[in-house]
Structures are given as C-alpha cells and as structure tokens.
Amino acid sequence: MTEPLYCINHPTVETYLRCARCEAPICDKCAVQTEVGYICPACLNRQQRVFYADFRPIYYPLAAAIALPLALIAGWILPATGWFTIFLGPLAGTGIAEAARWAIRRRRGRYTWLVVAGAIVVGGLPRLLLSLVPLVVSAADPSLLTVGVWPLVWTGVYLFTAVGTAVARLR
C-alpha cells in the first residue's frame, strides 16, 4: 500500500492520484480527464494555450489544399447518385472535415470550418453549373422543366448536407 499524497491545491485532501504530465499529486476535484489521463489544472491550462498558440495561418491553405480536391470529386460524383445524396452528402462532409483536420494535425484554428465550408462550395460549383444547363435549355421549351430541375435539387441537397456536417464537426 502506497502512502497517501496530498493535493497540491488542497493540502488537507489525501489522494493517490498524480498528474499524468507533471506528476503533482491532485485530488479528484482538481483532476481533469484528458486523452493522456488525469492532469492537474495548471497542466490543462498550459496544454490549451499551446493548442491555440500552435496554430499558424499557413494551416488554412493547407486545410484547403486537402479539402478542395476531395470536395471537387465528391461534389461531382455524389449529386449524380440522385436520392442517395441525402445519405452520401453528410458522409462526404464528415470525410472532408476529418481529412482537413488530419492535414493540420488536429490543431484548432478559429476559421478552419469556414475554409472547409468554402472548399465544399467551390468543389460543388462544376456540378452546380452543369445542373443549371437543363434549366437554361428548358427555358426555350418549358415541358422539359420537370426533368431539368432534379440535378439542381440533388446538387443543392449535397451542398446543404455536406457543408452542414463539416461545419458542425469543425466548430
């Protein structure tokens, strides 16, 4: 049996817990659970400061460089799958967001969500423009309109769901 330690913040409170970072004894009131185990408030503070200070503006173009090619592929293929877009759009949004986060080593930037959302919208533009063609054509012959409007609907569904899930994941 090990001797009880005393919390560095509460000298009267016995504990067996030590901070995973600095090994200071901490009571269960002070301990904060993280990926590396329980850590003390001082270490948590330091870790969070590093987390944000570590972010450099260069990570935005880096996130975009990964997100844009994926968004171009997803934006071209998925709306062509018709109603499957309802399920595939959120998946694409999640995938693109995770790829962008991986690219910047999961560092947190305030505007990462905006960069990724922008990439998804830009990536959807080729399909969006193509889906407008039937509408332009049907302007001459309105009987074609019912056929012509679906590509635009699915492109809209794709953009809405993909951007929505990506932003929810990154904010």
Q: Does 63 bind Zn ion (CB under 5 A)?
A: no
CB closer to Zn ion, 40 vs 120: 40
CB closer to Zn ion, 19 vs 152: 19
Closest distance between Zn ion and the C-beta of residue 49, in Å?
A: 14
Which position among 1, 4, 11, 30 is part of the footprint of Zn ion (CB under 5 A)?
30
Closest distance between Zn ion and the C-beta of residue 105, in Å?
A: 23
For residue 136, give Cα distances in angstroms to 89, 130, 141, 148: 26, 10, 9, 9
Biggest distance spanned by C-alpha atoms of the chain: 88
Closest distance between Zn ion and the C-beta of residue 18, in Å?
A: 8
Q: Does 10 bind Zn ion (CB under 5 A)?
A: yes
Q: Does 21 bind Zn ion (CB under 5 A)?
A: yes
Q: How many C-beta atoms surround the C-beta of residue 168 within 10 A?
A: 13
CB closer to Zn ion, 30 vs 119: 30
Report residue 5 CA to chain centroid gap: 41
Binding window for Zn ion (CB under 5 A); candidates: 21-29, 78-86, 108-116, 134-142? 21-29
Spatial distance between the Cα atoms of 21 and 40, rounded to a whole number of angstroms: 8
CB closer to Zn ion, 21 vs 169: 21
Which position among 4, 6, 14, 22 is part of the footprint of Zn ion (CB under 5 A)?
22
Q: How many C-beta atoms surround the C-beta of residue 161 within 10 A?
A: 20
Q: Does 108 bind Zn ion (CB under 5 A)?
A: no
**Which residues lie below 8 Å from residue 28, measured CB to CB, with a gap of 6+?**
15, 17
- Which letter, b or e, does each residue of 76-107 get, where b requires 16 or more Cβ atoms within 10 Å of its Cβ? bebbeeeeebeebbbebbebbbebbbebbeeb
- Rule CB under 5 A: which residues touch Zn ion? 7, 9-10, 19, 21-22, 24, 27, 29-30, 40, 43
